[in-house]
Structure 1
């Protein structure tokens, strides 16, 4: 895995560099205190992961991540920061992780290792068998965007359209044991790979929007925090 590192505090940059260079199968392409230099390197070098502080002069880590996201660059991002105020916005940019300073080295090592394992793992495999009265529909799990329970029926939103079933979320959740799926709310199961953004809806809940779908789901504040610590 090819990694770029940027932090305007030299002491924090040295800590990051020291941790990362001791991880097997990792190559540090650049390590800099300048976000502008990091941006220049991103344009000319191939990296798989950018590890960045958020608050930096002139160009912030958040702005770097926004450039990566808006240009659809195949670069994962880990924020390592002393500021917790960007956590929710970080999900909008699909960052891999959000690590608060000060942090133990194992926290960063685990995050990078998890990303490497994820990169080496094939996409979601398997099929879901959906019962509809006397019919059974077969759906590829990788095509499921999210699932909603409303009243006595359940709607499975897929990339090719919705499918209704009488099966409960508890029943379907038992069939979706992959870590790609999360019971985000008592009425929803979401596929984290399709999530585009979280928007505050109420004190303890957010609206979830998805890539290529106008329908929306809900997620609780606790589940957002769970995602932050265990998925990204």
Structure 2
């Protein structure tokens, strides 16, 4: 099920989006609003997979919304539906899924959304980590990994529900976790930035990392904290 947020400051255009998308299978409209500011608030508290937005809107633009999504590494695809072709190059820089010019046909929009559905289905398979342990193979959703810690000869993978040990090195695991969500925070840790709750100063050049949902903590260097502040948060 693809969860979608809609924003356009013209009611006639928003109604058209709602009418087309509500007739599609495997999609759900989570919010539909005339206000980009309201869309931003919804993005912060609701889980969506796709934002369909006009670009030129009062106060906060659709381009600025997409820039927030991109700079915060949020897993939200963006489709611009706009009457202005002037942002096409910038949209490419933000890696948006599609750029649709008004007026558009129903098929033009539905084809774009169906293409995203197919892409997500492929990514779901690719978004798994396969761990061989003796006679067992454990399959972990990468998005469920909170952090990984190296201790001695093994690595411990902390997920939402449990902990799994593997003899794979952090370098090997880092190669498997090429998603932008994961960073090598310390020589002994890989963290998923989406679960980070706060950093606490531990020593002159290092911090502890607290996460949402678990008590276990990781370590991060001051250099990596500075990097996250500049490029992610």
Aligned position for 2:105: 104
Aligned length: 128
Q: Secondary structure at the match of 1:2?
A: strand
4+ aligned runs moved over 3 Å, structure 1: 122-125
Residue 20 (str. 1) matches residue 5 (str. 2): no
Aligned position for 1:120: 121
Q: Secondary structure at the match of 1:121?
A: helix
Distance 1:122 1:20 in 2: 22
- 1:52-71 map, 5 Å: 52-71=53-72
TM-score in terms of structure 1 length: 0.53
Aligned position for 2:79: 78
Specify whether residues 44 and 123 from structure 1 end up closer, same or farther in structure 2 by C-alpha distance, changes over 3 A only. Answer: closer
Specify whether residues 122 and 36 from structure 1 end up closer, same or farther in structure 2 by C-alpha distance, changes over 3 A only. Answer: closer
The Cα of 1:122 is off from its aligned counterpart by 4.4
Aligned position for 1:43: 44
The Cα of 1:85 is off from its aligned counterpart by 0.2
TM-score in terms of structure 2 length: 0.53
Structure 1: runs of 5+ lacking an equivalent: 126-192, 195-232
Distance 1:82 1:27 in 2: 25
Aligned position for 1:87: 88
Larger relative contact order (Cα-Cα within 8 Å, sequence gap ≥ 6): 1
The Cα of 1:121 is off from its aligned counterpart by 1.0
Distance 1:25 1:4 in 2: 14
Distance 1:83 1:122 in 2: 31
